[in-house]
Amino acid sequence: MKVLICCESEIILQVTGMALEAAGHQVALEREPHALLAHVQGAAALLVDAGRARQAPALLRDRGFAGRSLLVGEGAQEELARAAAELTLDGAVASPATDDFAQRFTAAVGARRRVLIVDDSEIVARLLQEELEAKGFEIHYAPDAEKATSIILKRQTRPDLILLDVNMPKVDGGQFCRFVKKNERFRSIKVLFCSGEDKEKVQRLVAECGADGFLSKGELLGKWIAENAG
């Protein structure tokens, strides 16, 4: 995994980097956020101290970074987690005072992933939400592209994945997908169409809009009926 690390403390910077390199990760170490811009491509995580926690994630996400942003520092894990929540980061990991730092880092990166469901059908949205929440995902819902845009604009609600209906009022799924994929801030968010349309038609739309794939609403509803009927 490629990891970006940005800390004012040279000691924390170097010790954290060495611990992750020893665990097989590729690391880029810098004391200033702008110096990490050249390393954004392919990065899956950012470790940042409190002094850089507001500037660094925003700066890197504007350049396409879509990984997890974690607060790193000295102190108790519980205190760091509270500070990370206040800073709207994705989690926290105490600096490597013990040998299990690499494992704690991996657990923090693998924490709950965020999914945005965009569908004007509340029934379909609820079915998706129930299934995904049972698997540990954090779910947000938008009935249209306007509400979805307001969600992805906010760092604290920006998703890792969008499940997107094709046929919606005002702005359809294809238009919204193009907006996401053409915007440098959002383009790394994965987009899957969720549609009851003909499979070949949706596959063409996936290719045209730069989406990452699609799910069949028919298969989703069929599965629900099979599991709950009788």
The residue among 218, 176, 175 whose CA lies nearest residue 194 is 218
Look at residue 230 in the predicted model and tell me its pLDDT. Answer: 44
The torsion of the CA quartet 158, 159, 164, 168, rounded to 10 degrees, works out to: -20
CATH for the stretch 114-228 = 3.40.50.2300
Tokens of 196: 């009851």
CA separation for the pair 23, 149 (Å, rounded): 38
DSSP 135-199: TT-EEEEESSHHHHHHHHHSTTT--SEEEE-SS-SSS-HHHHHHHHHHSTTTTTSEEEEEE-S-H
15-43: per-residue pLDDT in tens? 899 889 988 999 999 999 999 999 998 89
Residues 6+ apart with CB under 8 A from 206: 193, 212, 213, 214
**2-109 belongs to CATH 3.40.50.2300:** yes
| Largest distance between two CA atoms of the chain | 63
The residue among 162, 151, 175 whose CA lies nearest residue 118 is 162
169-193: per-residue pLDDT in tens? 889 999 999 999 988 878 778 899 9
86-97: per-residue pLDDT in tens? 888 888 988 776
H helix runs in the chain, sequence order: 10-22, 55-61, 77-86, 101-109, 122-134, 145-153, 173-182, 199-209, 217-228
Q: Do 81 and 91 contact (CB within 8 A), yes or no?
A: yes
Q: What are phi and psi of 163, to 5 degrees?
A: -100, 115
Look at residue 162 in the predicted model and tell me its pLDDT. Answer: 92
Look at residue 132 in the predicted model and tell me its pLDDT. Answer: 83
Is the fold of 2-109 the same as that of 114-228? Answer: yes
Q: Do 32 and 7 contact (CB within 8 A), yes or no?
A: no
CA separation for the pair 217, 109 (Å, rounded): 31
Look at residue 28 in the predicted model and tell me its pLDDT. Answer: 96
130: how many CB neighbours lie within 10 A of its CB?
11
Look at residue 110 in the predicted model and tell me its pLDDT. Answer: 64
Look at residue 214 in the predicted model and tell me its pLDDT. Answer: 86
On average, the pLDDT of the chain sits at: 86
Residue 217 DSSP one-character state: H
SS3 103: helix
Q: What is the domain partition of the chain in residue ranges?
A: 2-109, 114-228
Q: What are phi and psi of 29, to 5 degrees?
A: -110, 125
Instruction: Give residue 14's identity as a one-letter amino acid code.
Output: Q
Q: Give me the residues of the chain with pLDDT under 50, please.
A: 225, 228, 230
Percent of the chain exceeding pLDDT 70 equals 92
